[in-house]
Amino acid sequence: MPPSESFSFVRRASQIGTLLRTFFCGKEIGRDAFGNRYYGGGGRRWVIYAGEPDPTKVPPEWHIWLHQTADAPLQGSAGQPWQKAHVRNRAGTAEAWAPAALAGGMRPKATGDYQAWKPE
Protein backbone atom coordinates (compact mmCIF):
# COMPACT_ATOMS: atom_id res chain seq x y z
CA MET A 1 0.00 0.00 0.00
CA PRO A 2 1.49 3.37 -1.01
CA PRO A 3 2.15 5.74 1.90
CA SER A 4 0.05 8.46 0.22
CA GLU A 5 -3.12 6.50 0.91
CA SER A 6 -4.18 6.98 4.49
CA PHE A 7 -6.61 4.63 6.18
CA SER A 8 -8.19 5.53 9.47
CA PHE A 9 -8.30 3.07 12.34
CA VAL A 10 -12.11 3.01 12.19
CA ARG A 11 -12.09 2.13 8.50
CA ARG A 12 -9.58 -0.69 9.06
CA ALA A 13 -11.58 -1.97 12.03
CA SER A 14 -14.72 -2.11 9.91
CA GLN A 15 -12.90 -4.35 7.43
CA ILE A 16 -11.80 -6.93 10.01
CA GLY A 17 -14.89 -9.09 9.46
CA THR A 18 -14.31 -9.18 5.73
CA LEU A 19 -10.64 -10.01 6.17
CA LEU A 20 -11.46 -12.83 8.60
CA ARG A 21 -14.07 -14.27 6.24
CA THR A 22 -11.55 -14.06 3.42
CA PHE A 23 -8.89 -15.87 5.43
CA PHE A 24 -11.12 -18.69 6.66
CA CYS A 25 -13.78 -19.14 3.95
CA GLY A 26 -12.61 -17.26 0.89
CA LYS A 27 -11.39 -18.73 -2.36
CA GLU A 28 -9.73 -16.22 -4.68
CA ILE A 29 -11.55 -16.18 -8.00
CA GLY A 30 -9.45 -13.58 -9.77
CA ARG A 31 -8.11 -10.05 -10.05
CA ASP A 32 -8.96 -7.12 -12.25
CA ALA A 33 -6.88 -4.43 -13.93
CA PHE A 34 -7.17 -2.18 -10.85
CA GLY A 35 -5.58 -4.86 -8.64
CA ASN A 36 -8.83 -5.64 -6.80
CA ARG A 37 -9.11 -9.27 -5.65
CA TYR A 38 -12.40 -11.15 -5.91
CA TYR A 39 -13.39 -13.95 -3.55
CA GLY A 40 -16.22 -16.42 -3.21
CA GLY A 41 -17.24 -18.89 -0.55
CA GLY A 42 -20.23 -20.01 1.45
CA GLY A 43 -22.65 -18.75 -1.20
CA ARG A 44 -21.26 -15.21 -1.02
CA ARG A 45 -19.03 -13.12 -3.23
CA TRP A 46 -16.95 -10.12 -2.25
CA VAL A 47 -14.07 -7.90 -3.27
CA ILE A 48 -10.96 -6.74 -1.45
CA TYR A 49 -10.06 -3.40 -2.98
CA ALA A 50 -6.53 -2.44 -3.89
CA GLY A 51 -5.95 0.80 -1.99
CA GLU A 52 -8.86 2.97 -0.97
CA PRO A 53 -12.20 1.09 -0.97
CA ASP A 54 -14.14 2.48 -3.91
CA PRO A 55 -16.99 0.52 -5.52
CA THR A 56 -16.67 2.54 -8.72
CA LYS A 57 -13.36 0.76 -9.35
CA VAL A 58 -15.22 -2.51 -10.05
CA PRO A 59 -15.32 -3.08 -13.84
CA PRO A 60 -18.54 -4.35 -15.46
CA GLU A 61 -17.25 -7.88 -16.06
CA TRP A 62 -16.68 -8.29 -12.31
CA HIS A 63 -19.78 -6.36 -11.28
CA ILE A 64 -21.99 -8.94 -13.00
CA TRP A 65 -20.19 -11.73 -11.12
CA LEU A 66 -20.38 -9.97 -7.73
CA HIS A 67 -24.14 -9.57 -8.05
CA GLN A 68 -24.54 -13.25 -8.97
CA THR A 69 -25.92 -12.49 -12.41
CA ALA A 70 -23.27 -14.76 -13.94
CA ASP A 71 -21.52 -17.84 -12.58
CA ALA A 72 -18.14 -16.61 -13.76
CA PRO A 73 -16.74 -13.16 -14.59
CA LEU A 74 -17.24 -12.25 -18.21
CA GLN A 75 -14.16 -12.98 -20.25
CA GLY A 76 -13.47 -11.12 -23.46
CA SER A 77 -16.16 -8.53 -22.80
CA ALA A 78 -13.63 -5.72 -22.65
CA GLY A 79 -11.70 -4.64 -25.67
CA GLN A 80 -14.49 -4.48 -28.22
CA PRO A 81 -13.87 -1.69 -30.75
CA TRP A 82 -17.00 0.16 -29.64
CA GLN A 83 -16.23 0.00 -25.90
CA LYS A 84 -14.50 2.67 -23.90
CA ALA A 85 -12.08 1.74 -21.15
CA HIS A 86 -13.63 1.63 -17.66
CA VAL A 87 -13.03 4.77 -15.61
CA ARG A 88 -14.03 5.26 -12.02
CA ASN A 89 -16.90 7.57 -11.10
CA ARG A 90 -15.62 11.12 -10.80
CA ALA A 91 -18.69 12.54 -9.03
CA GLY A 92 -17.75 14.74 -6.11
CA THR A 93 -14.30 15.51 -7.47
CA ALA A 94 -12.87 18.37 -9.51
CA GLU A 95 -12.94 16.07 -12.56
CA ALA A 96 -16.73 15.60 -12.38
CA TRP A 97 -18.79 16.51 -15.41
CA ALA A 98 -20.92 19.61 -15.08
CA PRO A 99 -23.02 21.58 -17.56
CA ALA A 100 -21.26 24.63 -18.95
CA ALA A 101 -23.45 27.00 -16.91
CA LEU A 102 -22.45 25.29 -13.65
CA ALA A 103 -18.82 24.97 -14.65
CA GLY A 104 -18.53 28.74 -15.00
CA GLY A 105 -18.67 28.77 -18.79
CA MET A 106 -21.24 30.15 -21.14
CA ARG A 107 -23.50 28.24 -23.46
CA PRO A 108 -22.75 28.89 -27.14
CA LYS A 109 -25.23 31.09 -28.96
CA ALA A 110 -27.84 29.53 -31.22
CA THR A 111 -26.67 29.12 -34.80
CA GLY A 112 -29.85 30.23 -36.54
CA ASP A 113 -31.55 26.83 -36.71
CA TYR A 114 -33.37 27.65 -33.47
CA GLN A 115 -36.26 30.02 -33.03
CA ALA A 116 -37.32 30.99 -29.52
CA TRP A 117 -40.95 30.39 -28.64
CA LYS A 118 -42.90 33.48 -27.71
CA PRO A 119 -46.35 33.15 -26.15
CA GLU A 120 -49.05 35.08 -27.92
pLDDT one-digit tens code per residue, 64-99: 999 999 888 887 655 678 777 777 788 888 888 777
What confidence category does residue 51 fall into, taking pLDDT thresholds of 50, 70 and 90?
confident
What residue ranges do the domains of the chain occupy?
9-66
Confidence of residue 3 (pLDDT cuts 50, 70, 90): very low
40 CB contacts (<8 Å, ≥6 apart)? 26, 27, 29, 46
Confidence of residue 4 (pLDDT cuts 50, 70, 90): very low
> What is the pLDDT confidence band of residue 1, given thresholds at 50, 70 and 90?
very low
Q: 58: exposed, middle or buried (C-beta count within 10 Å: 0-12, 13-18, 19+)?
A: buried
